């Protein structure tokens, strides 16, 4: 039965025939997105065969084409902030105890990081970053994988391999979503074996592998280079739970695997109905699978605008294509024109326009040849260099649009860069790039929260082993967010405040300690050797000061002893000295002796205490 807007038989069913039309619609959407992705990729890398263009006369033999890669350059320029966000922090997540926010959570943060950052975790994350920069959005899927330390991982789904209705604003509102997978014939046959965990239907797999793999947008024109069959993983809601089935729209007429409730590793304890305590199954608590109610797909938007339709989000391929085309055209024309202007051209020096009838054309001149006619030599006028200013204006304007305002602070003929100009442009660029990183952080928070919920449930149920001192932390409820929020964004803000305060702080007694804290935050990997040098210099300075102070105290003590000894020898004074100098000397000696006596008493009292 053909699909119509009023048809609702596909709702709350698992029958392939009732869902087939909806699946066909989503496969068609994926084909359109795949073609769009291929076109964006070719535009980004400027995949043009210049020799083929000349052979087809689209380019003249002396015409140059100088491809510009503005789209790719802007993507790579912006990637550093995203890569820094996910890799610079030694931990992946920052966790806050929901009931007691003041609790120290560093021990569970380290344990969760070791489970989230599995071998190769960067590959899907970096591919996702590159994908949403190019196309406007990227999609990560959280998957159950027992080979990972946390039994959970994430996979990037490229544009064209994920199908949803074109007006989708929130993936969780979709009635059905589809993802393409690619398998070889050998793999598909193995997936239909009786003991295979995939449990594919052999009859349907035979229909798939009985045909040649279909051509994709990436291998059109390369009919010999095809070995992968496109298989669809279909998710939809049935009786309140997400179900997942496998199909091949091109070749099969039924499910490759009948839809089943979606399980991605989440577990829950089985409790005794009377006591409420967990039941035990051997040495571990009894538990059961928990099936998902939400799709495990998470959207990473590149930019947010008033249009929140996912398929309407735009990336750098769309935003930079006109500028890249214009710069490529202008620069190619400029270089071609200069090449032509550099050549020598000749014509016969005659006034009769018909003088060359029945004569040989396209003669090439060479040195030492005899020319039997008067010849005029000329050159084409080269284009003005002002065109380079126009190209620079296009490029600089594009860099401003890509949040790279600091690139606009270039040396110009009419001015020089100033410190204030550089600082203002850098601050503006940082502010703009921070907005995009915060947007990325919001999506990453949802991914990490879902992954932690799965890890936590499996630890509580005894399916994941952790250190005894860590286990109690998994019993509590947490708020999870990416560590980059604290370790990158907030750290950069703190560093800026510390650098602004340094001119004042360095004049205070806290200056050296403040400097060591600032170095530790600026250079976490190399700060230890710098701090060690500073501490050694401080200790050496303190040692010198203590030595100087001790020498001074010894000199003062010798002087005091001399004064006391002199006061006890009045015979050494003249009569006038006994009247004027001796009384003052005796008084000073008495003060010194009283101070020495008080110090002796204090020294005697300390051992008794």
Structural domain range at position 566: 532-609
- Give residue 430's pLDDT: 47
Position 593 in a domain:
yes
Q: How far is CA 555 from the centre of its chain?
A: 65
Over 70: is that where the pLDDT of 425 sits? no
Summarised one tens digit per residue, pLDDT across range 62-95 is 788 888 999 999 999 888 888 888 888 888 998 9
The reply to whether 574 falls in a domain is: yes
pLDDT over 70 at 453, yes or no: yes
CA angle at 253 for the pair 252 and 258, rounded to the nearest 5°: 85
Q: Is the separation of the CB atoms in 293 and 240 below 8 Å?
A: yes
Q: What are the pLDDT digits (tens) for 594-607?
A: 888 888 887 777 66
Q: Using the predicted structure, report yes or no on whether residue 517 has a pLDDT greater than 60.
A: yes
Q: Is residue 594 assigned to a domain?
A: yes
User: Is the residue at 18 inside a domain?
Assistant: no
- The closest alpha carbon to 259, from 235, 277, 232, belongs to 235
CA distance 142 to 266: 12
How far is residue 27's CA from residue 214's CA, in Å, rounded to a whole number? 14
| Token digits of residue 517 | 């804290």
Asked, for residue 213, whether it belongs to a domain, the answer is no
Q: Is 539 a domain residue?
A: yes
- Per the listing, tokens 């260099």 go with 385
Report the distance separating Cα 451 and Cα 112, nearest Å. 9
Q: At 465, is the secondary structure helix, strand, or coil?
A: coil
- State how far the Cα of 396 lies from the Cα of 402, in Å rounded to an integer: 10
Query: In Å, what is the CA distance from 431 to each residue of 173, 300, 304, 596?
Result: 33, 20, 16, 66
**pLDDT (tens digit per residue) in 173-194:** 999 999 999 999 999 999 999 9
What are the two backbone dihedrals, phi and then psi, of residue 93, each rounded to the nearest 5 degrees? -130, 155
Q: What residues pair up with 482 in beta bridges, in sequence order?
A: 93
Note the pLDDT of residue 226: 81
pLDDT grade, residue 432 (50/70/90)? Answer: very low
- Nearest alpha-carbon partner for 300 in 69, 127, 551, 514: 127
Instruction: Give the pLDDT mean for 517-545.
Output: 80
- Of residues 560 and 134, more confidence is placed in 134
Residue 453 lies in a domain: no
pLDDT tens for residues 326-339? 998 898 888 888 88
| Calpha distance 163→140 (Å, rounded) | 13
- Give percent above pLDDT 90 in the chain: 43
Q: Tokens 């979503």 identify what position?
A: 177
What pLDDT is stored for residue 410 in this prediction? 41
Torsion, Cα of 546, 551, 555, 558 (10° steps):
100
Helix residue ranges, H only, 117-251: 121-135, 185-191, 202-209
Query: How far is the CA of 592 from the CAs of 563, 577, 605, in angstroms?
Result: 9, 21, 20
Residue 449 resides in a domain: no
To which H or E segment does residue 514 belong?
helix 511-522
Instruction: Round to whole Å and give the CA distance between 206 and 229.
Output: 12
- Is residue 426 within 8 A of residue 291, CB to CB? The reply is no
The reported pLDDT for the residue numbered 347 is 75
Chain mean position to CA 415? 36
Mean pLDDT lowest among 117-126, 343-352, 447-456, 526-535:
343-352
Dihedral, CA atoms, 216, 219, 222, 227, nearest 10 degrees?
Answer: -70
Task: State the total domains in the chain.
Answer: 1
Cα dihedral 542/544/547/552 (nearest 10)? -100
Residue bearing tokens 């045909």 = 211
């Amino acid at each position: 039965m053909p699909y119509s807007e009023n048809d609702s038989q596909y709702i709350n069913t698992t029958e392939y025939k009732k869902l087939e039309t909806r699946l066909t619609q989503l496969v068609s959407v994926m084909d359109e997105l795949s073609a769009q992705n291929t076109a964006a990729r070719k535009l980004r890398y400027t995949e043009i065969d210049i020799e083929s263009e000349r052979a087809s006369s689209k380019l003249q033999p002396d015409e140059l084409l100088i491809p510009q890669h503005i789209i790719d350059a802007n993507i790579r320029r912006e990637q550093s902030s995203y890569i820094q966000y996910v890799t610079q922090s030694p931990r992946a997540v920052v966790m806050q105890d929901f009931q007691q926010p003041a609790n120290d959570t560093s021990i569970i943060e380290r344990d969760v990081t070791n489970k989230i950052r599995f071998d190769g975790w960067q590959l899907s994350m970096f591919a996702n970053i590159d994908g949403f920069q190019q196309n406007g959005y990227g999609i990560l899927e959280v998957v159950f994988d027992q080979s990972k330390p946390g039994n959970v991982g994430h996979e990037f789904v490229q544009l064209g391999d994920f199908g949803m209705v074109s007006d989708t604003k929130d993936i969780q509102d979709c009635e059905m979503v589809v993802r393409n997978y690619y398998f070889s014939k050998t793999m598909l046959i193995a997936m239909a074996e009786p003991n295979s965990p995939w449990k594919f239907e052999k009859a349907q797999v035979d229909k798939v592998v009985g045909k040649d793999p279909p051509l994709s947008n990436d291998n059109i024109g390369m009919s010999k280079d095809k070995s992968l069959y496109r298989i669809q993983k279909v998710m939809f809601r049935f009786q309140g739970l997400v179900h997942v089935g496998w199909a091949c729209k091109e070749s099969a007429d039924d499910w490759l695997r009948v839809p089943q409730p979606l399980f991605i590793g989440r577990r829950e304890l089985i409790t005794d109905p009377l006591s409420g305590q967990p039941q035990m199954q051997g040495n571990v608590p009894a538990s059961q699978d928990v099936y998902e109610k939400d799709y495990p797909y998470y959207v990473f938007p590149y930019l947010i605008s008033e249009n929140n339709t996912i398929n309407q989000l735009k990336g750098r391929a769309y935003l930079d294509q006109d500028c890249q085309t214009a710069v490529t055209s202008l620069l190619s024309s400029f270089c071609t024109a200069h090449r032509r202007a550099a050549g020598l051209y000749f014509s016969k020096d005659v006034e009769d326009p018909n003088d060359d009838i029945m004569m040989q054309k396209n003669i090439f001149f060479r040195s030492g040849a005899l020319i039997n006619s008067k010849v005029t030599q000329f050159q084409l006028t080269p284009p003005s260099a002002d065109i380079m200013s126009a190209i620079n204006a296009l490029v600089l304007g594009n860099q401003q649009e890509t949040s790279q305002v600091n690139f606009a602070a270039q040396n110009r003929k009419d001015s020089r860069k100033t410190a204030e100009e550089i600082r203002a442009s850098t601050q503006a660029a940082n502010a703009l790039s921070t907005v995009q990183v915060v947007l990325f952080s919001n999506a990453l928070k949802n991914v990490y929260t879902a992954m932690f919920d799965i890890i936590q449930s499996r630890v509580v149920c005894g399916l994941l082993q952790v250190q005894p001192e860590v286990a109690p932390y998994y019993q509590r409820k947490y708020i999870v967010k990416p560590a980059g929020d604290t370790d990158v964004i907030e750290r950069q803000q703190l560093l800026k405040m510390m650098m602004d305060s340094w001119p004042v702080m360095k004049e205070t007694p806290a200056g050296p300690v403040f400097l060591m804290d600032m170095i530790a935050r600026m250079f976490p990997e190399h700060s230890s050797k710098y701090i060690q040098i500073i501490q050694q210099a401080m200790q050496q300075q303190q040692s010198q000061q203590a030595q100087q102070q001790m020498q001074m105290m010894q000199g003062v003590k010798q002087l005091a002893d001399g004064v006391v000894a002199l006061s006890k020898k009045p015979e050494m004074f003249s009569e006038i000295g006994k009247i004027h100098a001796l009384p003052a000397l005796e008084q000073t000696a008495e003060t010194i002796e009283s101070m020495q006596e008080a110090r002796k008493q204090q020294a005697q009292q300390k051992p008794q205490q």
